Amino acid sequence: MENTTKITAACVIENGKVYVNSKLDFAAEGSATSLDFLKAAYTHYQLNYPKFYKMDSLCKLAMVASELLMRTNRINEKYASEAIALIIANGASSLEIDTEHQVSIADEANFFPSPAVFVYTLPNILIGEIAIRNKIKGENTFFIFDTFDEDFIHSYTDSLMNNDKAKCVIAGWVDFYEDKYRAFLYTVERTNEGEAHTTTNINKLIDNKLNFERN
Amino acid sequence: MEKETWIDGMMMKGKVYVAGDNVVSSLGFTSEENFAHLKKMETGVKQYNDASLWMEPLMASRVDDVRLEREFAKLGSSEGFTRLEKMMLVSATAALSENKKIDISSSRTLIIVSSTKGNIELLDKEEGKRFEKKRLYLWETAAQVARFMGNPNKPLVVSNACISGVLAIILAKRLLDEGKYDTMVVIGADSLTKFVVSGFQSFKAVSNEVAKPYDAKRTGISLGEGCGTMVLTNDETKLNDAERILVMGGASSNDANHISGPSRTGDGLQMAIEKTLSEAMMPAEEIDFISGHGTATQFNDDMESLAVANTQLGAVPMNSLKSYFGHTLGAAGIIESVMGVHSMRQNTLIGTYNFEELGVPATVNIIKDTRAEEVNNCLKTAAGFGGCNAAVLFEKLTSRARA
């Protein structure tokens, strides 16, 4: 159906696996740490973005997920930079890198706070990194939930699109804390192709069970 | 002209009113008390010698602990709340106490929390012993506040650097337009911690004197803490007084340029301002007052002047309140919006404390001394790390003839 919002692409990263449009695309389950896995994914996909190595783990995760999403669905070739919105959430904010900053200030005798660390102590920096990499300038908001609130994100995404605040929304979840991580990002557009943008289908894409092949 | 939109078959009226507000800061525990200090141009930024914050003297704006404890005790609560949560509960309770028509226990009332760092001091080993670990999470802080206030809905948390507060107000306006809720209690809070002070010090961004926004001799930010609460409703019958202050619209944008430095051209903030004026159907020449971000860093104030001048707003009276409250991070957008609303109510433009000589690349009209002037609307702007920008417009209902 035309003129309804559709889920047009998705990337899920969890448990040492990368899924693109619900299909397993890369696995490095033997990675010693979550960070090792992200570096392995970076190399595997030849992301070729040296800035990646400067980023904190949360942004590295966001970068891999967003790169694969954008390779699958080149929305930045379809829409003006200000027409794409980024609506992303997580549970642990930036606590992973916050802990690193805290360690650097905990001991008076060994006091070494660093701007290169501190700049990442905000969760929306990952939105900034995705925006810079892909020249996205539209609406952007970072939410914190205990668990992903698909009802809210679904209705807010539709509201942005229905009220002409965005023509395309990148929505999802990017979380990294204490060596646990999970990311899923998906694109929502108004188009004939893709799966209906419903909370049921959002939950399916999170579980890698949304069928993107029908179109 | 009244704006009406059709969403999911329901007709919505795009009118969202300010129904109550409060500010807890170094300058007081009510909006009126805070605004009275601004009118007299009295700053809350002063020098602290507190090794728990910074090893050297620090210029900052802090909430008085003794008074916070006293105000919190009045809520009849036991212990078990962090300092940040106490600020939030005192502020939100005060905002609601002034308007008995607002029902916090209603399923049509939602709490939105705006904070950048929440209870981050609990990462410290000693501090952390006093609370469960999950109190570090912003969703838990918000849940604690909602539970204490007696609100049945799961609160929303916005954590988007220094635009969090303005974004939370924009979000509230949009959700009220959707019609699922009739009231939003928007609470923005951040506390001054060693975590934040050491980080901004590592950036060499903190001034040794009170911040001098937009000034030729500005040398950086003053840090602050506090909480602002703004109650918004789409139900006119829930309003207390005759004067109607509306949230007309707002927008956010991203520079897509740099994570810690603003755009050199101001294009991102310019876009947010243009989208805001367009949504509000407000021509630039009708803007009476801009409540700027004005952190007093070189780059931010330069960028802001360009964005304001490029949107044909260079002649509009503009201030920054960062030299009164310091930069209160996730609270700033709400505290400054509340003060902007009071500027409209009292027809008073607040002078920018410590501003002497304009030192930004584009000509903007910085208010130097507080003065009486008709203020029918207020454009609030914000920008932050991650390249984010936001703007929101408030207006007095009677101020513009609507056909």
Q: Per the structure, how many domains does chain B have? A: 2
Same domain, B81 and B101: yes
Q: Quote the tokens at residue A109.
A: 């005798």
Domain boundary among B238, B269, B289: B238
Cα gap B134→B155, rounded to integer Å: 16
User: Which pLDDT value is given to residue A29?
Assistant: 77
pTM summary value: 0.96
Q: Quote the tokens at residue B183.
A: 């009231």
Domain boundary among B170, B203, B238: B238
Domain boundary among B189, B217, B238: B238
Same domain, B349 and B377: yes
Same domain, B218 and B265: no
User: Which pLDDT value is given to residue A210?
Assistant: 97
Q: Which residues lie below 8 Å from residue A98, measured CB to CB, with a gap of 6+? A: A121, B117, B120, B123, B195
Same domain, B391 and B277: yes
For the CA atoms of chain A, what is the radius of gyration?
Answer: 17
B residues 234-253 closer than 8 Å to A (CB): 251-253
B6 falls within a domain: no
A residues 105-144 closer than 8 Å to B (CB): 105-106, 108, 111, 113-115, 118-119, 121-125, 127-129, 131-132, 134-144
B389 falls within a domain: yes
Please report, as a single letter, which amino acid is at residue B82: T
B3 falls within a domain: no
Same domain, B233 and B252: no
Closest chain A residue to B174, measured at CA: A159
Domain ranges of chain A: 5-206
What ipTM was assigned to the predicted interfaces of this complex?
0.97
Q: Quote the tokens at residue B144.
A: 């604690």
The dihedral over CA atoms of A161, A166, A168, A174, expressed in degrees to the nearest 10, equals -100
Instruction: Provide the residue range defining the domain that includes B127.
Output: 15-238
**DSSP 8-class letter at A15:** T
Same domain, B312 and B362: yes
Same domain, B252 and B173: no
Pick out chain B residues at pLDDT < 50: 1-12, 401-403
> What is the CATH architecture of A5-206?
3-Layer(aba) Sandwich (3.40)
Per the rule left: phi > 0, alpha: psi between -120 and 50, beta: everything else, B179 is: left
Same domain, B73 and B203: yes
User: Which pLDDT value is given to residue B402?
Assistant: 43
User: Which pLDDT value is given to residue B6?
Assistant: 42
- CB contacts, 8 Å: B261 with chain A: none
Same domain, B32 and B143: yes
Same domain, B233 and B249: no
Taking each helix axis from N to C terminus, what angle separates B267-279 and B298-310, rounded to the nearest 10 degrees?
40
**DSSP 8-class letter at B358:** B
B266 falls within a domain: yes
Pick out chain A residues at pLDDT < 50: none
Q: Look at the block and give the residue holding tokens 């903030």.
A: B269
Same domain, B146 and B164: yes
B283, B289 in Cβ contact below 8 A? no
